[in-house]
Amino acid sequence: MQCNNKVVVTLNNVGMEFIVPNEKIDSLKEYFIRRMHGGIDKQRFLALDGIDLCINRGDKFGIIGPNGAGKSTLLKVISGVMKPTRGTVEVKGKIAPLLELGAGFETEFTGAENIYLNAAILGKKKEFIDQIFDEIVAYSELEDFINIPVKNYSSGMRAKLGFAIASKIDPEILVLDEVLGVGDLRFRKKSYDTMKGMIADKKTVILCTHSLESIRELTTRAIWMEEGRIVREGPSTEIAEAYEAAMQGKRRGRKHDKRFVTRRKNG
Amino acid sequence: MNAIKRQVEVFMDHKYLFYLLTMRDVKKKYKNSYLGILWSLLSPLLDMIILSIVFSSLLSRNVDNYPVYLLTGRLLFQFYTSGSTIAMQSIVAAAPLIRKIYIPKYILVLSKLCSNYIFFLISLIDLGLIMLVTGHNITWNILWGIPYMILIFIFTVGIGMALSAFAVYFRDTEHIYKVFTNALYFASAIIYPPEIVPQKYQFMLQFNPVFHFLQGFRRVTYYGLAPDTTNLLLCLAISLVSLILGVTYFKKKQDGFILYL
């Protein structure tokens, strides 16, 4: 892939290997019992395998692939939530996710307090939040409820508030894990339009999805992933077409994932 | 050098978040409670009254002004246990956040410790109050209590960081630690003077790091004496070792948290 001088995200031979115990051991008691009974079964799982990638400033970059292809892991590696076990990741500029809305809500607190907390979690300073506070409240359509605790909000209201915060904080690189439909029908349309607006902007957007429609409509470049590798990359229309054809071609039964390597560790 | 500069930059970027997280815990504690901040004052006092009734006649030959003796030990100890316990749970509790977005993880631990330290500072009002009410002899040496308060904070940061990382991998750490702190309470000479412990059991006090902080603090506050240099240096050494080990362990483990949360 050609990296030019406007590159903002560079991945170099990135690999992510998980060690998955066959049974989850998360207490000292279990750990010692297992040790005494000889060994803990572990499997290694390569979620990402040799990923090379450049994303340039202003790219609308799509990631498509079947379940378990490693799309979400790739996003986590890019946004710094996970450190890859191999290779390097370089990111210029601030990344903000718009994944699973309202993660940082403190339900005992009011909506207003939560706006500050949530925006700060997304890396914003007080002065900036002061400036966009009114905009967020107006966009969320929760003016009458902004001073009551979030625990009294309906789930739709929480989602609205979360989306309003995420969409107004204006990150340099926006990471979207599936295009989300939140709130009632009208708000859903509004949020979809906002998202399209953000994407139409000069901003860099990385979108990960199952939906061919979103890839075609919202992105310009894309990669197609399968079993932790990049199968193909190029203009998104081309990728969407190839992916669609391939998916229709192989309606295969699920075979064993080659990335699992069993090993028994005696301790 | 560059790494340190980057660390400082990252912290400055999250300074406001750090402040908000700390204040969140402070606010949360006093929300939904009529007495609010008074609870932080009331609970050590009630505890003190009960223990004084039970023990002061028993120990009247060894300790005069038992309530002050008790508080000078208990308040510091309370900060250590509640601080390290809440710090231990901080990473696991923030799992939904850590799974989604990058934030420097030590901020989660440190904000818990800071909010707890604020509760501790508030509870010191009790000590001042009881000292005045009982007409305790207060000297300028009481100001030497401040270095001890700083040192026990550093000590607790180290322990809290290590425990928070450990608890990610072993969730039952919490229960084991609770038993441990219970035992520690009785091995720290809080409710009794250390002299009444028989010689052959004195090592239990000496090997308990928290005991040395309490002794030093008590010497300058309760007894109003100048600090014992050996003790002060020992506390400095203990807290630095704790900090270095805790931070090193945390740094080594933090990239793996996400796989276990």
Read off the pLDDT of each residue in B199-220 and give the average, rounded to a whole number. Answer: 95
Does the structure show a pLDDT above 80 at A2? no
For B97, which of A18, A96, A103 is closest by C-beta distance?
A: A103
Chain B residues whose beta carbon lies within 8 Å of the beta carbon of residue A123: 13-14, 17
Q: Tell me which of A158-167, B120-129, B245-254 is least confident.
A: A158-167
How many angstroms separate the CA atoms of A15 and A229, rounded?
A: 9
CA distance A250 to chain B (A): 32
- Measured between beta carbons, the chain B residues lying within 8 angstroms of A121 are 17, 97, 101, 103
Say whether A81 and B260 touch across the interface (CB within 8 A).
no
Say how far apart CA B191 and CA B170 lie, in whole Å: 32
pLDDT at B261 over 90: no
Query: Could you identify the residue written with the tokens 């100001």?
Result: B143
- Which of B121, B94, B116, B113 has its CA nearest to residue B29? B116
Give the model's pLDDT for residue A52: 93
What is the model's pLDDT at position A267? 37
pLDDT band at A40 (very low <50, low <70, confident <90, very high): low
Per-residue confidence (pLDDT) for residue A108, from 0 to 100? 83
Helix, strand or coil for residue A70? coil
Q: What is the pLDDT of residue A103?
A: 64
pLDDT at residue B94 above 80?
Answer: yes
Q: Report the residue of chain B nearest A119, measured CA to CA.
A: B17
Q: Is the dihedral of CA A194, A195, A201, A204 positive or negative?
A: positive
Residue holding tokens 């050590």?
B44
pLDDT given at position B134: 93
Q: Would you call A96 helix, strand, or coil by DSSP?
A: strand
Contact predicate B94/B21, CB 8 Å: no
For the record, the structure tokens of A264 come out as: 């028994």
Compute the distance between CA of residue A40 and CA of residue A23 in angstroms, rounded to an integer: 8
Considering only the beta carbons, identify the residue of B101, B170, B171 that sits closest to A121: B101
pTM confidence score? 0.87
> Is residue A261 scored above 70 in pLDDT?
no
Residue A201 pLDDT > 80, yes or no? no
Q: Which of A191-195, B134-138, B210-214 has the lowest mean pLDDT?
A: A191-195
Cβ(B99)–Cβ(B258) below 8 Å: yes
Task: In whole angstroms, give the CA distance from residue B230 to residue B212.
Answer: 10
Identify the closest residue of chain A to B28 by CA–CA distance: A108
* Helix, coil or strand: residue A261: strand
When pLDDT is averaged across residues A99-104 and rounded to a whole number, the result is 59
pLDDT of A250 above 80:
no
Contacts of A84 in chain B (CB under 8 A): none
Which residue in B has a C-alpha nearest to residue A129's C-alpha?
A: B16
Q: Is B142 a residue whose pLDDT tops 70?
A: yes
Q: What pLDDT, on the 0 to 100 scale, is given for residue B103?
A: 87
Task: Tell me the Ramachandran region of residue A94: left when phi exceeds 0, alpha when psi lies from -120 to 50, beta otherwise.
Answer: beta
Residue of A nearest to B10 (CA): A123
pLDDT, mean over chain B: 92
Q: Chain A within 8 Å of B14 (Cβ-Cβ)?
A: yes
Identify the weakest region by mean pLDDT among A173-182, B76-85, B136-145. A173-182
The pLDDT confidence band at residue A204, using thresholds 50, 70 and 90, is confident
The domain ranges of chain B are 14-260
User: What is residue A257's predicted lDDT score, i.e. its pLDDT?
Assistant: 57
Sorting pLDDT into bands at 50, 70 and 90, what band is A166? confident
Model pLDDT, residue A254: 47
For residue range A14-37, list pLDDT tens digits in order. Answer: 999 887 766 677 788 888 887 777
Q: Which residues of A touch B (CB under 8 A)?
A: 18-19, 26-29, 31, 76, 79-83, 95-97, 99-100, 103-104, 106, 108-109, 116-117, 120-126
Residue A233, helix vs strand vs coil:
strand
Q: Which residues pair with A149 in a beta bridge?
A: A110
The C-alpha atoms of residue B85 and residue A11 are separated, in whole angstroms, by 39
Which among A43, A72, A81, A151 is the top mutation candidate for probing chain B, defined by the most B β-carbons within 10 Å of its own β-carbon? A81
Whether the pLDDT of residue B185 is over 60: the answer is: yes
Whether A106 sits inside 8 A of B171 (CB atoms) is: no
Side-chain-side CA neighbours of residue A266 (13 Å): 0
Q: Which residues of chain B make contact with A91, given a CB cutoff of 8 A?
A: none
Q: How far apart are CA A216 and CA A240, in angstroms?
A: 7
- pLDDT value of position A266: 46
Strands across the sheet containing A7-21: A86-91, A7-21, A40-56, A260-265
Q: Which pLDDT band, with edges at 50, 70 and 90, does B10 fall under? A: confident
Q: Determine whether the interchain pair B173/A116 forms a contact, defined as Cβ–Cβ distance below 8 Å.
A: no
| Residues of chain A with C-beta less than 8 angstroms from the C-beta of B259 | 18-19
Range ranked top by mean pLDDT from A109-118, A202-211, B110-119: B110-119
E-strand ranges in chain A read: 7-21, 40-56, 60-64, 86-91, 95-97, 173-177, 204-209, 221-226, 229-235, 260-265
